Structure 1
Amino acid sequence: MSERFYADGRRYDRLFPGGEQAIAFYRAEADRQGGSVLELGSGTGHKLVPIASDGHPCTGLELSPEMLAEARRKADDRGVEVTWVQGDMRSFDLGRTYDLVMIAANSLLHLHEAADVVACFRTVRRHLAPGGRLVLDVFNPSVEVLARADGVRRRRDALSFADPDRGILHVDVAETYDAAAQVTRGTWSFSTDAEADVVVAPLGMRSIFPQELPLLLSLGGLRLVERYGDWSRAPFTGESPLQLCICEAD
């Protein structure tokens, strides 16, 4: 599966730096909703630690122990308190409810089966306080992009980053798209100029199409109340890069 891809929290943050617009959006949603926040697939705490620093009681649930370790380090460095829990977003019981539940940065797309997505939504529903909201973002699938997933290994120059131990790490990706499963399966290879494939990690991501998402939410006891197309809250269209969704209990 994708465990090796998430086996180094600091490498992950160097691979995907920035994200200030997404952080600002989720901080604003936490402020608008008020109260407690739960993030599923909380990763290295990239969004949750800033939200906790705003004074919200926060809990992060993450499957990868390595990502959790990096999240704990970040929270400790900033002097903020976050409850970190290792767990699976499909099935968990934290014994309480939350005013805001977040599933950010395409984390939902690690669930490849529709039944797993619905199970996640049902579990979210059980953890929503009265008036609580689920906010999530997933990419808006592009048929053109999916058609280019032909299994050919290609260099992603924009993803190159500096590693303190190895120098510049280059990133090559080879992907295929399984249309029946709606899953893109990739192999990510990290190399230096002196050494090829110092890390090779598989990564599979599901596509959830725009008409499909409200149905999956409904099966999980939730309903879509707002959907934006980018972090500026532009209206969602077929050309939007994101499906940025605000959901409530049905």
Structure 2
Amino acid sequence: MSDQFYSDARLYDRLFPGGEQAVDFYRTETDRQGGSVLELGSGTGQKLIPIASDGHPCIGLELSPDMLAEAQRKADERGVEVQWVQGDMREFDLGRTFDLVFITANSLLHLHNAEDLVDCFRSVRKHLAPGARLIFDVFNPSVRMLAQADGVRRRRDALSFVDPDRGVVQVDVAETYDAAAQVTRGRWYFSTDSEADFSVAPLEIRNIFPQELPLLLSLGGLRVVERFGDWSRAPLTADATLQLYVCAPD
């Protein structure tokens, strides 16, 4: 399970602070689609708060209460109105439909079983208004990287960040790959020069390969309208690191 990984929402934001290209993409798509927006796995509101600040009515559904609390704090700080709802993206009923639903930043990959993914897509389908779209992004699995997931703890220099209270935080990760489940099982270690492993958290992420997604979407009552391999809308190729899908009701 990965609940512990998201129990410190501010630490999460410092670990993953960027995403400007993703934010720009989703803001552009929301402006193009218009209307109301639902984000599943909305986290601390990194994508949804900027979209709400553009004047779109927004709801964010998130399982983690810690992430929801930080999202509310950030929205209040910016004077932006967003409705935050605690819920599970596999099965939810908000009693209304939306013009755009999106799932960003690999949030979909916390659903490890095919049944859970299909349940999520079916729930999304029930919440899509006529002409609405589902948009989501997940990484494109690299067989080379999966083969290197040997359980050895290694430093991830690119992930180091500055914490205002602790100073420079270094990040180590140890991962193994469960090929039968298509799940990468990792343990993340956060340390400073004066405090080794002040936080250690497991993170388990599903790998979804490009040939799987159209079938899973179809089982959930959705079809692929477009798919891309990066935020500039380039085609999805074998060496693309991103899978970006635009979907509609089937």
TM-score range for the pair, normalised by the shorter chain length: over 0.9
73-82 or 178-187: which moved more?
A: 73-82
CA distance in 2, matches of 1:230, 1:161: 25
**Unmatched tracts of structure 1, length 5 or more:** none
Which residue is 1:10 aligned to? Answer: 10
CA distance in 2, matches of 1:162, 1:30: 32
CA offset at residue 243 of structure 1? 0.6
Are 2:106 and 1:106 aligned?
A: yes
Which residue is 1:46 aligned to? Answer: 46
RMSD in angstroms over aligned alpha carbons? 0.6
Specify the SS of the correspondent of 1:135.
strand
CA offset at residue 161 of structure 1? 1.0
Q: Which amino acid aligns with 2:17?
A: P
4+ runs deviating over 2 angstroms: none
- The total of aligned residue pairs comes to 250
1:121-140 paired onto structure 2 within 5 Å:
121-140=121-140
CA distance in 2, matches of 1:192, 1:81: 36
Specify the SS of the correspondent of 2:246.
strand
Specify the SS of the correspondent of 2:89.
coil
CA distance in 2, matches of 1:167, 1:2: 25
CA offset at residue 215 of structure 1? 0.3
Are 2:95 and 1:76 aligned?
A: no
CA distance in 2, matches of 1:13, 1:205: 18
Which residue is 1:243 aligned to? Answer: 243
CA offset at residue 117 of structure 1? 0.3
Q: Which amino acid aligns with 1:137?
A: D
CA distance in 2, matches of 1:191, 1:197: 5
Specify the SS of the correspondent of 1:245.
strand
Q: Which amino acid aligns with 2:145?
A: V
CA distance in 2, matches of 1:204, 1:27: 29
CA distance in 1, matches of 2:153, 2:122: 38
Cα shift readout 1:93-141 (whole Å, capped 9, x = no counterpart): 0000000000000000000000000000000000000111000000011
Q: Which amino acid aligns with 1:172?
A: D
Cα shift readout 1:181-228 (whole Å, capped 9, x = no counterpart): 000000000011122110000000000000000000000000011000
Specify the SS of the correspondent of 1:46.
coil
1:1-250 paired onto structure 2 within 5 Å:
1-250=1-250
187-196 or 103-112: which moved more?
A: 187-196
Q: Which amino acid aligns with 1:202?
A: P
Specify the SS of the correspondent of 2:117.
helix
Q: Which amino acid aligns with 2:196?
A: A
Specify the SS of the correspondent of 1:168.
strand
Q: Which amino acid aligns with 2:169?
A: L
Specify the SS of the correspondent of 2:96.
coil
Q: Which amino acid aligns with 1:123?
A: S
CA distance in 2, matches of 1:198, 1:22: 30
Q: Which amino acid aligns with 2:165?
A: D
CA distance in 2, matches of 1:96, 1:238: 38
**Unmatched tracts of structure 2, length 5 or more:** none
Q: Which amino acid aligns with 1:126?
A: K
Cα shift readout 1:33-87 (whole Å, capped 9, x = no counterpart): 1000000000000000000001100000000011001110111111111000000
Specify the SS of the correspondent of 2:232.
coil
CA distance in 2, matches of 1:71, 1:85: 11
CA distance in 2, matches of 1:43, 1:121: 19
Specify the SS of the correspondent of 2:74.
helix
CA offset at residue 13 of structure 1? 0.7
CA offset at residue 146 of structure 1? 0.6
CA distance in 2, matches of 1:33, 1:236: 22
Over the matched positions of the two proteins, sequence identity in percent amounts to 78
CA distance in 1, matches of 2:247, 2:119: 16
